[in-house]
Amino acid sequence: MVENDEGNSVDRFDISSKFMKILLIIVTVLLIFAGPTYFSYLLSNVLNVNYVVSVVSGFALLVVGILLMLFLIKKKIIT
């Protein structure tokens, strides 16, 4: 059997790479701005989901975006 060496393992979620930093910032912006507006509109008018459900899901995406932004600020990716 092969043992996993923790010192030589490659981290799949490497925040230090430039690509990952940019991707996380773009996802954060989309969650904060497009989540409550476009996603709620898509659910409510296009998919005919109940209005309250669409607004609550948009608010949940806003909260996730804000939490992700706070995580990025804490890790000093966003200054």
**What is the reported pLDDT for 12?**
67
> Max alpha carbon distance in the chain (Å)?
56
Is-contact 32 62, C-beta < 8 A?
yes
Task: Name the band, by pLDDT with cuts 50, 70 and 90, for residue 17.
Answer: confident
What's the whole-number mean pLDDT along residues 62-79? 93
Q: Per the domain annotation, does 12 fall within a domain?
A: no
Instruction: Give the DSSP letter of residue 50.
Output: -
Q: Is the pLDDT of residue 10 over 70?
A: no
* Cα separations in angstroms, 3 against 12, 42, 74: 19, 48, 34
Task: Give the pTM.
Answer: 0.77
Q: Per the domain annotation, does 4 fall within a domain?
A: no
What's the whole-number mean pLDDT along residues 27-32? 95
As a whole number of angstroms, the distance between CA 60 and CA 55 comes to 9
Q: Per the domain annotation, does 18 fall within a domain?
A: no
Print the domain residue range for 68. Answer: 31-74
Q: Per the domain annotation, does 21 fall within a domain?
A: no
Q: Per the domain annotation, does 8 fall within a domain?
A: no
**What total number of domains does the chain contain?**
1
